[in-house]
Structure 1
């Protein structure tokens, strides 16, 4: 039986098909998600002034669309060179990590606001973010550097096929993303209890905690699933669910931003498309706005 790197041609073709179909399914989900939230985006995001939140939103919204095709192309490209395969492998690896951390950065900005813009929390968030991102990038870079794609293949067999080291580097990377998600969840709970225990939470805070909880649960489930996959499945499937994790975290954070802005507009009774700039502060149960000159009321 013909083999490619110790794997039968049949298994290689079957695995390659899965690794093409799943990213394609994720891309379709992403497109449907975009169409479903497009109206709110036009009303709530497009008129807003450019700032850090809007920049992160745009990156979070469109980066997955760019990254996912590389996952499929990696598995169907014909007669690829070793260097070309390495590039095709590196782009989605680093891109999906970027999608996850951009989505997480949006939550950390909200935590910073909940803290009353505490300088201490800002320092903690920045140091943690730098360490986590640098750790994940270094682990993936090492994993990619140790891999080889110089594997003879029968004529007519497409897609890149590499030889990789053990999955410990990948498992640690997934574990690092889980740690970061746990940290932001703990900070949310802490400031929620500290600042709002004796107050009735406003609409914005309710939305933030609801969507933030969903984000944390989704990130935890996906990170643990990916760790299990990396530890038990063949090397070609170590990133099997990574595209779905990137799409899920991106979609949840996008919806959270839209719901927060929509909730703020409804609280103010705004009837125009013009959206005020929203800033979280403890004194206003999560809302402080620069209100434009616009008609209020039903």
Structure 2
């Protein structure tokens, strides 16, 4: 019995060590990204009017930063009560990030599908499913536990079957939403004219941004979500095994990809507005009449709600956790 207890304790410490290493790696990546893009943030978002795009950008950017600041605070000595409050608060902020991510996906679907409200709502619901799924953990005694070596750590009473079911629901819906967006993007946008338009007049750089960034977003997150699912489902059943640690990389990667996406859209919007105001050919070329209207931000959703109704002469297409016994030592049980 003493041997089993020692083995279990060793496994807990191994999980905590790996989890902390992954957390530090994700934090380093996020901070580095913020430092190298801070100048763009100031130029593109701080100096303009507040729009839906800017609100989404700041929510995505700083919810992630606050979450990781709170995670770093968990390594500071504290009382058990403070540890419990810190873990629950950090978990809530971390999961609330799914709200701006889902809103961003829904607005992309709305703009690209010809303002199809039903599709947008469906994508939004798929995107916020992980928010609801993870908040379920509050009903399974999510709490903080002090450790003299690793500081304040999260624990939750989840059986392996429950952890795997929640992971399937959470990651499956995210992958479905991303796949729908990728299909809508590639079906809607005028790929045949993409190269010529971008190289000659740069009027439709929004198309490049949506195709390029949207595809990168899908591929990166698809790989991470599949890895998270696979590592969780094939994990060795043990009383202290958590779900996989891939979420330590998925969340900062999602925050970075969404930030880059919005930065690129905002930059494309400003370039388009400058070109529209300075190019004397706009008034003489019939093919480009109406472009300024389609490249203007909607006041509410900014660059994200851009109408994608390009003129037909341009596009060439018609716009017609683990262990059967629940345990409070399951660490990092985010699904």
Q: Number of aligned residue pairs: give it.
A: 275
Runs (5+) with no aligned partner, structure 1 = 271-275, 286-298
Matching residue of 1:110: 108
Distance 2:96 2:111 in 1: 23
1:7 corresponds to: 8
- Asked whether 1:126 is paired with 2:121, we answer yes
Q: Could you tell me how far apart the structure 2 residues matched to 1:180 and 1:204 are?
A: 24
Corresponding residue number in structure 2 for 1:248: 253
Post-superposition shift, 1:56? Answer: 1.0
1:48 is aligned to 2:48: yes
Determine the C-alpha separation between the residues in 1 that align with 2:105 and 2:224: 18
Residue 127 of structure 1: CA displacement? Answer: 4.6
1:142 aligned to which of 133, 136, 139 = 136
2:176 maps to: 182
CA displacement at 1:154 relative to structure 2: 9.1
**Partner residue of 1:291?**
none
Alignment of 1:222-241 (within 5 A): 222-231=224-233, 232=235, 235=240, 237-238=242-243, 240-241=245-246
Larger Rg: 2
Quick check: 1:148–1:164 contact (8 Å CA) kept in 2?
yes
Measure, in 2, the Cα distance between the counterparts of 1:58 and 1:106.
12
1:273 is matched with none
Q: Deviations over 1:51-100 (max 9, x none)?
A: 2221111010111111124445557755625xx65544443444333324
CA RMSD of aligned residues (A): 3.7
2-side partners of 1:191 and 1:269: how far apart?
Answer: 26
TM-score between both structures, scaled by the size of structure 2? 0.67
Q: Is contact 2:70-2:86 (8 Å) kept?
A: yes
Counterpart in the other structure of 1:289: none
Gaps of 5+ in 2: 198-203, 276-295, 298-302, 312-335
Contact 1:167 1:230 in 2 (8 A): no
Deviations 1:10-55 (A, max 9, x none): 4433332332232222222111101111111111111222122211
- Which deviates further from its counterpart, 84-93 or 99-108? 84-93
